[in-house]
Amino acid sequence: MKEKLLEHLLEFVSDNKKKLFAKNIEHRTKYMTLVLEDLYQPHNASAVMRSCDCFGIQDIHVIENKNNFEENKEIAMGSTKWLTINRYFEKENNTLDCIKKLKSEGYRIVGTTPHSKSCSLEEFDVSKGKFALVFGSEEPGMTSLAIENCDELINIPMLGFTESFNISVSAAICLHHLRWKISNSEIPYKLSDSEKTEILLKWTKQVVKSSELIEKHFFENYRNKLDNENIF
In a domain, 4, yes or no: no
CATH number at residue 67: 3.40.1280.10
pLDDT of residue 28 exceeding 70: yes
In a domain, 136, yes or no: yes
- Please report, rounded to a whole number, the percentage of residues in the chain having pLDDT higher than 90: 79
CA distances from 26 to 57, 84, 99 (A): 12, 16, 28
- What is the Cα–Cα distance from 158 to 148, expressed in whole angstroms? 24
pLDDT for 97-115, tens place per residue? 999 999 999 999 999 988 7
In a domain, 118, yes or no: yes
Residues in the chain: 232
Q: Residue 226: pLDDT band by 50, 70, 90 thresholds? A: low
pLDDT of residue 74 exceeding 80: yes
Number of compact structural domains in the chain: 1
- With 0.85 as the threshold, say if the pTM is over it: yes
User: Cβ distance 133 to 178 under 8 Å?
Assistant: yes
Give, for 87, the enclosing helix (H) or strand (E): strand 84-88
Q: Is the dihedral of CA 64, 147, 150, 34 positive or negative?
A: positive
Q: Residue 89: pLDDT band by 50, 70, 90 thresholds? A: very high
User: Cβ distance 129 to 102 under 8 Å?
Assistant: no
Mean pLDDT value across residues 14-38: 97
In a domain, 47, yes or no: yes
User: Cβ distance 168 to 41 under 8 Å?
Assistant: no
pLDDT for 120-176, tens place per residue? 999 999 999 999 999 998 878 899 999 999 999 999 998 888 878 899 999 999 999
In a domain, 51, yes or no: yes
The parent domain of residue 89 ranges over: 29-183
In a domain, 232, yes or no: no
In a domain, 7, yes or no: no
pLDDT of residue 232 exceeding 60: no
Mean pLDDT value across residues 11-26: 97
φ and ψ at 130, to 5 degrees?
-60, 155
In a domain, 202, yes or no: no
3-class DSSP state for residue 142? coil
